[in-house]
Structure 1
Amino acid sequence: MFGDKTANKKIMSLKIAIQGAKASFHEEAAFKFFGREVEIVECDSFKKTCELLKQRKVDYIVMAIENSIAGSLLPNYNLLRDYKFHITGEVYLNIQQNLMVLPGVKLRDIKHIESHPIAIRQCEEFLSELEGVRITEGSDTAATAKMIAERKLTDTAAIAGTLAAEVYGLEILEKRIETNKKNATRFLVLSNEVIEHKNANKASLSFQTGNTVGSLATILQCFADQNINLSKIQSMPVIGKRNEYDFFVDVEWKKQTDYEAAIRKVLKHSINFNIMGEYVKNEKL
């Protein structure tokens, strides 16, 4: 999974930067991609993970990019654009949210629930049925679980994954409180260097178009003409330029020659075209 270049490096020596605390969903995603024999470097922000990779203090970043309920994490697209790291892989993680407390605490004792804003959004239906409970947005799901354990908070609950309950010794009061049970997050694996994958069948691309009628449609048709599946498209305003946008697309293919032909066509109609990464499609939940 790591590509020919990484295969020569002992997995034990790999340092993986994540946003969040130990036992967060980012750590679960990192373990799913690399295995557990890696060193996880916890960061309090996505920007911090990028700075560590830029300074080569870590080998990879695992970064959430979209959720099936909350949608795209737009600030992270800005980081992809600013830092220009290479995407070397992806991870899909089934997100199961749980309400957890110190052992012995009952639902009637809870006055305060804290978690990451996206986790709160994913559990809105459950939370709307609670009365007299204050909901607070925190920096991370696992970090809230850790805080409850360290401070021995008997009136506070966290929303987090089962790993957080195991690591921090909390009791799951209510399981699977996410509104949509088909709740999944896609994570990208980022590196400083291009890592070649012989069986690559997916790519993340970015480009701009001319400000003319049908310019984007022309580019999209180039993919369709070569039987390339467009699985994701995201637009972001170009900073400081009115009515100009960066387009981020994910494409998938069965024949490498079709993909290469599509790229040659798109190059003729796009501006600032960039292959952000070519990797193996991964949808295993």
Structure 2
Amino acid sequence: MLDLGEIRDKIDGIDRQLVDLFEERMQLCTDVAKYKIETGKKVLDTDREKAKIEAVSKMVKDPKNVHAIDDLFSQIMANSRKMQYRLLEETTQTLREPYEAIDEIDKKNCRVVYQGVPGAYSYIAMRRFFGKDVNNFAVPSWRDAMEAVKNGEADYAVLPIENTTAGCVADVYDLIQEYDNYIIAETFVKVEHALLGLEGTDIDKVTTVYSHPQGFMQCEKFLSKHKDWQQISQANTAGSAKKVLEENDKTHVAIASEEAAEVYNLSVLAKKINDLDNNTTRFVIVTNTRKFVKNAKKMSIVFETANEPGTLYNLLSHIIYNGLNMNKIESRPIEGRPWEYRFFIDFEGNIDDPAVMNALRGIQEEAKAIKLLGNY
């Protein structure tokens, strides 16, 4: 019986052999890649890989090791493909589409669209990002905003995409995938609700409060102290402030932002009445031209994959293999295709970084579909 030290020495010896054999195999795969580059053959040969897995599985003597060997050789071949994609990019056979690199967004000479009404959080995000004097207009829906950008009626649209407490804005994700508009920037707005009313309003005499359903939910602790108030839901918080102004009734109040109080000339009766202090909404800025700021540090993509074991892992592995940090993944069902999904991915990087292009090349070659949503 060998002692632990002797066993480990034998393992170390085997590992050295494995490394040598792996490097020898990868060199041969490099020769395969050069052949494919010259002949135009695709890197991924599904039939060849399937036959290889079946062949090595038959070599296994202990049945308990079959699954592990299958997994091992799947990873070896995946690493071979990633190396071949890198060579394809390095030999200028890139799949990169043309784009315009700009130094910065011209925030003064542009027209911006947002969904909602003045005082809404999209309005606040727009003003904080572009400035209070930016030429802007509002539309009823997020789709209308995307249409305005698509048709050139606006240079940019401001859209909410996720919230720290409510999660993703699913409809916006779907629209970004549907339209050929591109994310060029993002901005964050901390949600801070206030109680608004007409000048001279006495809180003790209030009977009715207006807000969006989420506004009520986010201010439950404050509202629990005023259980006699009738809560009436509105389409958005800013619309609630507008309704108080229009009704001109000092017994009616609204839960909305302090900016809404400024827009509708209301008094702030109580500040920061939301339960949580870390409630923040992330907004994206989209445009209809394929342009990115030169110092962009985040990539957003969406891809579709076959509903088969390991396919999502294999696609995400291209990001890991190239040393990129993925910071978000979101899945959305594909309309008309039950139990099939699109995956929205955010990861760190710039489109001019070879590691980014290597990852995108690998995903594009192996996914059913991929779309670059933006670099910002």
Assess same fold via TM > 0.5: yes
Map of 1:69 onto structure 2: 165
| Contact 2:211 2:233 (C-alpha < 8 Å) held by counterparts | yes
CA distance in 1, matches of 2:245, 2:195: 14
Map of 1:259 onto structure 2: 356
Label 1:100 to 1:205 Cα distance change in 2 as closer, same or farther (>3 A).
Answer: same
Alpha-carbon displacement from aligned partner over 1:201-246 (angstroms, at most 9, x marks no partner): 1011000111111211122222122221221111111001011111
Question: Whose Rg is larger?
Answer: 2
**Correspondence 1:122 to 2:221:** no
With normalisation by structure 2, the TM-score equals: 0.69
CA distance in 1, matches of 2:125, 2:288: 19
| Contact 2:104 2:293 (C-alpha < 8 Å) held by counterparts | no
Label 1:181 to 1:261 Cα distance change in 2 as closer, same or farther (>3 A).
Answer: same
Label 1:125 to 1:218 Cα distance change in 2 as closer, same or farther (>3 A).
Answer: farther
Flag structure 1 segments of 5+ consecutive residues without an equivalent. Answer: 280-285
CA distance in 1, matches of 2:139, 2:287: 16
**Correspondence 1:55 to 2:118:** no
CA distance in 2, matches of 1:124, 1:269: 48
**Correspondence 1:271 to 2:368:** yes
Aligned amino acid, residue 358 of structure 2: A
State the 1:12 CA deviation: 4.2
Map of 2:314 onto structure 1: 218
| Contact 1:230 1:252 (C-alpha < 8 Å) held by counterparts | yes
State the 1:49 CA deviation: 1.4
State the 1:256 CA deviation: 2.1
State the 1:117 CA deviation: 2.9
Aligned amino acid, residue 312 of structure 2: L
CA distance in 2, matches of 1:271, 1:155: 58
CA distance in 2, matches of 1:90, 1:134: 37
**Correspondence 1:201 to 2:297:** yes
Flag structure 2 segments of 5+ consecutive residues without an equivalent. Answer: 1-100
CA distance in 2, matches of 1:233, 1:240: 22
CA distance in 2, matches of 1:54, 1:263: 25
Aligned amino acid, residue 120 of structure 2: S
Map of 1:189 onto structure 2: 285
CA distance in 2, matches of 1:170, 1:89: 32
Aligned amino acid, residue 269 of structure 2: L
State the 1:6 CA deviation: 7.1
| Contact 1:112 1:133 (C-alpha < 8 Å) held by counterparts | yes
Q: What secondary structure sits across from 2:250 in the alignment?
A: coil
Q: What secondary structure sits across from 1:196 in the alignment?
A: strand
Map of 2:14 onto structure 1: none
Q: What secondary structure sits across from 1:41 in the alignment?
A: strand
Aligned amino acid, residue 297 of structure 2: N
Q: What secondary structure sits across from 2:355 in the alignment?
A: helix
| Contact 2:125 2:187 (C-alpha < 8 Å) held by counterparts | yes
Map of 1:282 onto structure 2: none
State the 1:181 CA deviation: 0.2
With normalisation by structure 1, the TM-score equals: 0.89
CA distance in 1, matches of 2:144, 2:224: 34
Structure number with the higher helix fraction is 2
Label 1:120 to 1:271 Cα distance change in 2 as closer, same or farther (>3 A).
Answer: farther
Alpha-carbon displacement from aligned partner over 1:227-280 (angstroms, at most 9, x marks no partner): 21221111111001011111111111389232222212222331210001111x
**Correspondence 1:235 to 2:331:** yes
Moved more, 269-278 or 36-45: 36-45
Map of 2:344 onto structure 1: 248
| Contact 1:69 1:122 (C-alpha < 8 Å) held by counterparts | no
Give RMSD over aligned pairs: 2.1
Aligned amino acid, residue 282 of structure 2: R
Aligned amino acid, residue 369 of structure 2: N
**Correspondence 1:89 to 2:185:** yes
State the 1:151 CA deviation: 2.3
State the 1:136 CA deviation: 2.5
State the 1:74 CA deviation: 0.9
CA distance in 2, matches of 1:83, 1:134: 41
Q: What secondary structure sits across from 2:289 in the alignment?
A: coil
CA distance in 2, matches of 1:225, 1:134: 56
| Contact 1:5 1:195 (C-alpha < 8 Å) held by counterparts | no
Give the number of equivalent residue pairs: 276
Label 1:278 to 1:45 Cα distance change in 2 as closer, same or farther (>3 A).
Answer: same
Q: What secondary structure sits across from 1:248 in the alignment?
A: strand
Q: How does 1:37-56 map to 2 (within 5 A)?
A: 37-56=133-152
Label 1:122 to 1:190 Cα distance change in 2 as closer, same or farther (>3 A).
Answer: same
Alpha-carbon displacement from aligned partner over 1:159-205 (angstroms, at most 9, x marks no partner): 11111112222122221111110111000101111122211110110
State the 1:5 CA deviation: 7.9
Q: What secondary structure sits across from 2:292 in the alignment?
A: coil
Map of 2:263 onto structure 1: 167
Structure number with the higher strand fraction is 1
